[in-house]
Chain A
Amino acid sequence: MYSFDIERPKSVADAVAALGADEAQPIAGGQTLIPTLKQRLASPSKLVALSGIEEMKYVRRDGDTLVIGGGTTHGTIARETAEHFPGLAGLAARIGDPAVRNRGTIGGSIANNDPSACYPSAALACGATIVTDKREIAADDYFQGMFMTALEEGEIVTEIRFPIPEKSAYMKFEQIASRFPLVGVFVAKFADKVGVGVTGASNDGVFRWSEAEQALGSNFAADAVSGLTAPDASDMISDLHGTGAYRAHLVGVMTKRAVAAAS
């Protein structure tokens, strides 16, 4: 990797200040950024490590909402959301391996918006709110395509607020090499609606499968998905690991299985 300066602020305010420098880049666990740096594919002059900011590490319940600090690791989320939000706990528990889960953070994942990241599907399905150092952004407005978000330069994801569904589950079909989701579907059933977030599949990044949401809204059963037309294969990613048609098909299969598994 190229050499760079690193700062380790202790507060969000200090982090925001540090990120004001030219070519400064936040590092929030580094599970994507460190491999990129090692390959010399990025050359930030300064890294601002968010891992020392204790005020961004928490999981707490606030009425019908689960509130998670942006600096919380997948491992912590897997443990601490298990009681109130098992669907999200199950998602977090199956990200990467223990080393990844103990370094990687939800804020880093949400900010990077990798098209194969797991959390964005949950955020969309639940209608989560992404909180930054500056503002609150609805999930529907936040995710704007592969690696694209509503974040501005230097803006930090400090918190994610998930409305807690009655029932939920995440089903991912793993790409055989990376074991990132080839297709991952998060299904969240609320009293008045059902959310279906799909990751890994689309050329446009994470998306809501609205046809399935409507069908499941009136009948929350795996069979309700069976009659639906799969998303348009031409909009799906086609690569070494699967054609667009295969991914489109898997969206249906994983949605059904998530509905069946929802608890």
Chain B
Amino acid sequence: MPKDHGIGASTKRREDVRFLTGTGNYTDDINVYGQAYVHFLRSDVAHGTINGIDTAAAEAMPGVLHIFTGKDFEAVGGIPCGWQVTDRFGQPMKEPKHPVLAHGKVRHVGDPICAVVAETLEQARDAAEAIELDIDELPAVVNMAKALEDGATLVHDDLGDNLCYDWGFVEENKEAVDEAIKNAAHVTTLELVNNRVVPNPMEPRVAIGDFNAASGDSTLYTTSQNPHVIRLLMGAFVLGIPEHKLRVVAPDVGGGFGSKIYHYAEEALCTFAAKALKRPVKWTSTRSEAFMSDAHGRDHVTTIELALDADHKFTAVRTSTLANMGAYLSTFAPSVPTWLHGTLMAGNYTTPLVYCNVRAVFTNTVPVDAYRGAGRPEATYQLERVIDKAARELGVDPIEIRRKNFVTEFPYQTPVAVEYDSGDFHRLMDKLEAAADFGGFAARRAESEKKGMLRGLGINCFIEACGIAPSNLVGQLGARAGLYESATVRVNATGGLVVMTGSHSHGQGHETVFPQVISEMTGLEEHMVEIEHGDTANTPMGMGTYGSRSIAVGGSAMVRATEKIINKMKKIAAHLMEAAEGDIELKDGSFSVAGTDKSVAWGDVCLAAYVPHNYPLEDIEPGLEETAFYDPANFTYPAGAYACEVEVDPETGKVRIDRFTTADDFGNVMNPMIVDGQVHGGLAQGIGQALLENSTYDPETGQLLSASYMDYAMPRADDVPFFKVDHTNGTPCTHNPLGVKGCGEAGAIGSTPTVVNAVVDAVQSGGHKHVTHIDMPLTPGRVWAAMNG
């Protein structure tokens, strides 16, 4: 019997009641009395010098309260970057100023120039059209290789070139890697593009600034994955507001995928404007604005070489990557192509030598930052593609070549800094082979061929580093933040329990899963537990949700705080029953004395804590409220083996995914239904990147060509198959209390190479042996061109 409550039960998501009945409270649902509206006038050129901004006519238009320009922000800080990468030569990365509103130059289409605040949104838009901009358009630099050429147009004149950093990892191994490649029995080389994508959460970004003139307190309501991080970044680095005078609220948030981690200019503007104008100020992004102002994802161009010995054992991996930063450094952008990427280049394999070179480049495009998986999908994609290509070149089975190189002993110290604590890659592959029915593939291919279709099978393995992250380690790597998580657990006098977590749910299901864990620990029914998150006024300092860290780090903090509560309640129970504290057991929601029939109910202990008439006041304080901060000892390492079968229409190049099967190791699983959903969503996003999505700039003008859903293809229900997912029998994480690894990003990480491997297999089966690679997205036109090229 599957469990019906507690850890491992597929408890239905309680938050869905409000989401599905239209009673959620998203930021745009919030309207503050007296609010005015902001419209941003954004650059319509990719690069230009601002000679002048004449707002006189616009200021005089009906309803206009004020028009802010870059000059208004000269006295405050720029939008800060939260990670400093040190380059191969020991120098810090170049870190250009990122003004709240463009000053001196505009650097990408969508760069905000003016913020018009008016009584109504339409008045603000009307006034924006009356602003006279005097901008001299400059040549735009879009292509990364061209941006690095001598004499290239400079995105930031004061930097001298467009190179943010030239990073090498593991730098000490560089020569050994070169030597291993020179001496290899076989080297497979692959050049590939990891295409730029737009995150497209269903809810666009919103910011509302509010200022209380009586108290001097500022409040920002915003669509954020980490309100405390925004409070710190914006308060301390941009606006100079101490944290005790600044509250940040991120209520229901409709998806983030990374794009709502970062501190954005619009948040600072609304907070600043509310104080300056003594009026609440609201901004709601349109979908068009989201395309040109939300941080984009991926955008790497890589050459990877895989060296093998005569036994097909991997002896070295060498990569060279150009990573697009866009026009400015977004909050965590520098970490994505480096520490979130190079540290995964050993993959599931025993490759002893790895060297990654990454050059990060400024271009006249929207800033790029972490997007579901962040660096790890880029690592997996190139590694699993080159392994597949090597298998083809050597004429060996793609599964066998992987199995031959699997890491099998744990803990395993990789050559790229990280140490895998647990895993069983052979077992994952065993499960995949059975679930995906590889034995039936030949018959299915024959059936497809009868219909004139080409069928291909793609295999992929991956490992990721999640549960981000040990603070002391990431500090050494350049993070300007700790990456612990926090929880306060409050038990009320009447027995109910509230968890105030620093994690933030923007679709994940914390309100359902966290109570399951509490229920398991205490015996309370899940409905006795409530989760609060997203408001800095009533949650302890937390780092928020990204990097599949909620349950692994936030859940661990909650477990620690709950343990403190339980210990205190045992003390109270011992007093009430006149027993020794060490003899008290908590089971099914009541405290008993071991070996006796004496017990006291949970509720009675709670009441005693808050009505301490019969209470050991000399030993312990009244009340039941405990806080814990949890800093993980290591990353967690979810891993998986994925298989995909596609049909390619040889006449049109159209790819249809027929089957997609996964075998994942997420460690212990808290709620299988929610984990299924996370995997489904990740797969859909990865399939979107593999087949459909592409953020395309005009290479000459820097105009965003795919700036709406007319040209930017999001995956729809009929673009994905019914997924067959499995995550049973994971190997528990060895260093966190729940043995969990995290599941949010796996699908997005594991799917892109699986799909491309399958399509290459299909195309080759049609006799197109020259097609060894097609760059994503594998649109019909590209696949057709590859076959007919």
Interface residues of A (CB under 8 A from B): 3, 39-40, 173, 176-178, 182, 240-243, 246, 249-250, 253
Contacts and interface: CB of A to CB of B under 8 A. Distances in A.
A105 to B, nearest CB: 20
Contacts of A39: 288
Nearest to B711: A177
Contacts of B781: 241-243, 246
Nearest to A243: B781
B633 interface: no
A77 to B, nearest CB: 23
Contact of B713 (A173, A177, A242, A249): A177
B652 A241 contact: no
Contacts of B711: 177-178, 240-241
Given A173-B780, A246-B781, A253 B652 contact: yes
Interface residues of B, number: 25
Interface in B238-297: 288
A240 B785 contact: no
Contacts of B694: 240
B652 A240 contact: no
28 contacts: A40-B125, A173-B652, A173-B654, A173-B780, A176-B691, A176-B713, A176-B779, A177-B692, A177-B709, A177-B710, A177-B712, A177-B713, A178-B709, A178-B710, A240-B694, A240-B696, A240-B706, A240-B711, A241-B781, A242-B780, A243-B785, A246-B653, A246-B781, A246-B784, A249-B784, A249-B788, A250-B652, A253-B652
Contacts of B780: 173, 176, 182, 242, 246
Given A177-B706, A246-B781, A253-B651, 8 more contacts: A173-B654, A177-B709, A177-B710, A240-B705, A241-B711, A243-B781, A243-B785, A253-B652
Contacts of A249: 784, 788
B693 to A, nearest CB: 9
Contacts of A177: 692, 706, 709-714
Interface in B109-138: 122, 125
A176 B711 CA distance: 8
Contacts of B706: 177, 240
Q: Which of B692, B714, B780 has the most CB of A within 10 A?
A: B780
Contacts, number: 45
Contacts of B712: 177
Interface of B: 122, 125, 288, 651-654, 691-692, 694, 696, 705-706, 709-714, 779-781, 784-785, 788
A55 B492 CA distance: 69
A257 to B, nearest CB: 9
Contacts of A176: 691-692, 713, 779-780
B575 to A, nearest CB: 66
Q: Please give me the 10 A-B residue pairs with the lowest Cβ-Cβ distance, nearest first.
A: A177-B713, A242-B781, A176-B713, A178-B710, A246-B781, A253-B651, A177-B711, A176-B692, A240-B696, A177-B712
Contacts of B122: 3
Contacts of A182: 780
A152 B720 CA distance: 46
A182 B782 CA distance: 14
A173 B780 CA distance: 10
Contacts of A178: 709-711
A146 to B, nearest CB: 15
Contacts of B785: 243, 246
A178 B125 CA distance: 27
B511 to A, nearest CB: 32
Contacts of B784: 246, 249
Nearest to A250: B652
A246 B784 CA distance: 8
B701 to A, nearest CB: 14
Nearest to B777: A176
Contacts of A242: 780-781
A177 B777 CA distance: 12
A145 B705 CA distance: 23
A250 B780 CA distance: 11
A46 B523 CA distance: 67
Nearest to B691: A176
Contacts of A243: 781, 785
Nearest to A177: B713
Nearest to A176: B713
A253 B694 CA distance: 26
A202 B711 CA distance: 18
Nearest to B708: A177
A176 B784 CA distance: 14
Contacts of B692: 176-177
A28 B651 CA distance: 37
Nearest to A253: B651
Q: Which of B651, B654, B779, B781 has the most CB of A within 10 A?
A: B781
A76 to B, nearest CB: 25
A112 B49 CA distance: 39
B722 to A, nearest CB: 21
A70 to B, nearest CB: 25
A176 B713 CA distance: 6
Nearest to A3: B122
Nearest to A173: B652
B40 to A, nearest CB: 14
A18 B402 CA distance: 72
Nearest to B129: A40
Nearest to A246: B781
Contacts of B709: 177-178
Nearest to A247: B781
A182 B713 CA distance: 13
A252 to B, nearest CB: 9
A198 B178 CA distance: 56
Q: Which of A39, A182, A249 has the most CB of B within 10 A?
A: A249
A243 to B, nearest CB: 7
Contacts of B288: 39
Contacts of B696: 240
B621 to A, nearest CB: 59
B779 A241 contact: yes
B195 to A, nearest CB: 12
A7 to B, nearest CB: 22
A256 to B, nearest CB: 8
Q: Which of B652, B692, B696 has the most CB of A within 10 A?
A: B652
B789 to A, nearest CB: 11
A128 B7 CA distance: 66
A263 to B, nearest CB: 20
A242 B784 CA distance: 10
Q: Which of A3, A182, A242 has the most CB of B within 10 A?
A: A242
A128 B712 CA distance: 35
A173 B691 CA distance: 16
A221 to B, nearest CB: 17
A241 B711 CA distance: 8
A250 B649 CA distance: 12
Contacts of B710: 177-178
Nearest to B784: A246
A34 to B, nearest CB: 14
A177 B705 CA distance: 13
A3 B125 CA distance: 12
Contacts of B654: 173
Q: Which of A40, A177, A243 has the most CB of B within 10 A?
A: A177
B716 to A, nearest CB: 9
A249 B125 CA distance: 45
B487 to A, nearest CB: 42
Nearest to B712: A177
A3 B120 CA distance: 14
